[in-house]
């Protein structure tokens, strides 16, 4: 138990340092935004490219992992949509609640944790999670949000195509596709270029965690307690429970084969708090404060839930 807590302590301690630095005025929101943009537009794409380009394509395209994570996410979308429909009247707010319950912080929290527990596979796990989240789960959740906005009458296929096109333009997806292409083609990259990508990729972990901690400054749980708490419960407990159940079901009937480390990675990934820009998406629906409260609650509580999942697999 002590060993498990020690694995995740540096991760959450760094988040706490980011919070303290921002609360003390050493960092401000402008600095955090700049750091976040650097991570998302350069450091994380370099990390994604490096992880995939240096790996065997057979390890990268793990269909069983993708299947379980996708089915777990889709199940979470369905269950939480039915759940929150009973307490939320506004369709856009319903979509925001489902979004926070389903999309994990694979990049800013998940990757640093996997770098500690599965260092050789951390980049591949991030790529697999990211592929399911940005191609399937996030577009579906944003579709629910957009359908709740007034004047939204575009054909469904046109709307989905627009979301997918915007996804393909993101630096993270470009890094993923380029790295996958290099892996599939078996291209050997020049050593100087490899060292360059390693240099930028190495900046990812600490900066990402500092941004997560700093973004929590000024967030309050007051006046948003009920809905924010339920979103946090759905994200930290329901989502990993659904992923674990689907993995067990498919493995029992021989429909999926997962080595122990990837089985653990699936459930731990789902147990992460919601992604860091959750409040940005919620702002368009007028629910930024509620989303920030949910993110604060989930991030604090995830130290318990993530360690709990790790202990189960030890």
- Of the listed ranges 38-52, 72-86, 249-263, the one predicted with least confidence: 38-52
- What is the arithmetic mean of pLDDT over 132-152? 75
Residue 2 has pLDDT above 60, yes or no: no
pLDDT, residue 148, reads 56
Kindly tell me if the per-residue pLDDT of 246 is higher than 80.
Answer: yes
pLDDT of residue 249: 97
Residues 112-139: tens digit of each pLDDT = 899 889 988 888 898 899 889 888 898 8
Report residue 159's pLDDT band, with 50, 70 and 90 as the boundaries. Answer: low
Say how far apart CA 136 and CA 218 lie, in whole Å.
32
What is the reported pTM? Answer: 0.84
What is the predicted pLDDT for the residue at 75? 97
Are residues 197 and 49 in contact, defined by beta-carbon separation less than 8 angstroms? yes
**Residue 91 pLDDT exceeds 80:** yes
Is 164's pLDDT higher than 80? no
pLDDT at 278 over 90: no
Task: Report the pLDDT value the prediction gives residue 240, as an integer from 0 to 100.
Answer: 97
Supply the angle between the helices 2-23 and 204-215 in degrees, to the nearest 10.
60
Report the alpha-carbon distance of residue 205 to residue 226 in Å, rounded: 32
Element (H, E) at 42: none
The tens digit of pLDDT for each residue in 218-233 reads: 766 555 568 899 999 9
> What is the average per-residue pLDDT within 33-37?
84
Average pLDDT score, the chain = 85
pLDDT at 263: 96
16 has pLDDT over 70? yes
pLDDT of residue 79: 97
Is the CB of residue 238 less than 8 Å from the CB of residue 76? yes
pLDDT surpassing 90 at residue 286: no
User: What percent of the chain has pLDDT above 70?
Assistant: 89
Nearby residues of 10 by Cβ (< 8 Å), 6 or more positions away: 116
Q: DSSP for 89-156?
A: --HHHHHHHHHHHH-B-IIIIIHHHHHHH-TTTHHHHHHHHHHHIIIIIHHHHHHHHHHTSTT----H
Q: Note the pLDDT of residue 295.
A: 87
Please compute the mean of the pLDDT values over residues 41-50 and round it to a whole number: 84
pLDDT bracket for residue 151 (50, 70, 90): low
Let me know: does 314 contact 260? Beta carbons within 8 Å.
no
Which range among 48-57, 125-134, 252-261, 283-292 has the greatest average pLDDT? 252-261
Q: Which has more pLDDT, 54 or 111?
A: 111
Higher pLDDT pick, 151 / 168 = 168
- Of the pLDDT bands very low, low, confident and very high (cuts 50, 70, 90), residue 154 is low
- Cα(105)–Cα(102) distance, rounded to whole angstroms? 10
Question: Which pLDDT belongs to residue 123?
Answer: 86
Res. 82: pLDDT tops 90: yes
More confident residue, 163 or 21: 21
pLDDT tens figures, 184-210:
888 888 888 888 888 887 777 888 888
Beta bridge partners of 274: 104
């Amino acid at each position: 138990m002590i060993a498990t807590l020690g694995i995740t302590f540096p991760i959450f301690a760094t988040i706490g340092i980011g919070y303290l630095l921002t609360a003390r005025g050493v960092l401000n929101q402008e600095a955090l935004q700049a750091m976040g943009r650097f991570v998302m537009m350069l450091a994380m794409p370099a990390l994604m490219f490096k992880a995939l380009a240096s790996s065997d394509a057979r390890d990268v395209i793990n269909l069983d992992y993708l299947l379980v994570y996708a089915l777990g996410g889709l199940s979470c979308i369905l269950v939480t949509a039915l759940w929150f429909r009973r307490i939320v009247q506004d369709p856009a707010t319903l979509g925001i609640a489902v979004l926070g319950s389903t999309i994990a912080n694979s990049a800013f929290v998940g990757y640093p944790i996997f770098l500690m527990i599965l260092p050789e596979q951390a980049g591949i796990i991030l790529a697999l999670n990211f592929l399911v989240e940005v191609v399937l789960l996030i577009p579906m959740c944003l579709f629910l949000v957009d359908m709740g906005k007034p004047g939204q009458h575009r054909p469904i296929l046109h709307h989905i195509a627009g979301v997918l096109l915007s996804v393909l333009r993101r630096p993270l997806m470009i890094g993923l596709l380029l790295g996958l292409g290099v892996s599939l083609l078996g291209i050997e990259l020049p050593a100087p270029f490899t060292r360059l990508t390693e240099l930028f990729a190495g900046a990812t972990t600490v900066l990402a965690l500092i941004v997560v901690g700093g973004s929590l400054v000024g967030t309050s749980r007051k006046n948003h307690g009920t809905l924010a708490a339920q979103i946090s419960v759905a994200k930290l407990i329901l989502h990993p429970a659904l992923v674990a159940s689907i993995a067990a079901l498919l493995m029992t009937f021989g429909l999926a084969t997962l080595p122990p480390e990837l089985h653990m990675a699936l459930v731990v990934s789902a147990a992460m708090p919601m992604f860091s820009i959750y409040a940005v998406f919620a702002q368009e629906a007028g629910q930024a404060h509620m989303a920030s409260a949910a993110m604060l609650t989930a991030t604090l509580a995830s130290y318990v839930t993530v360690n709990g999942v790790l202990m189960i697999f030890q």
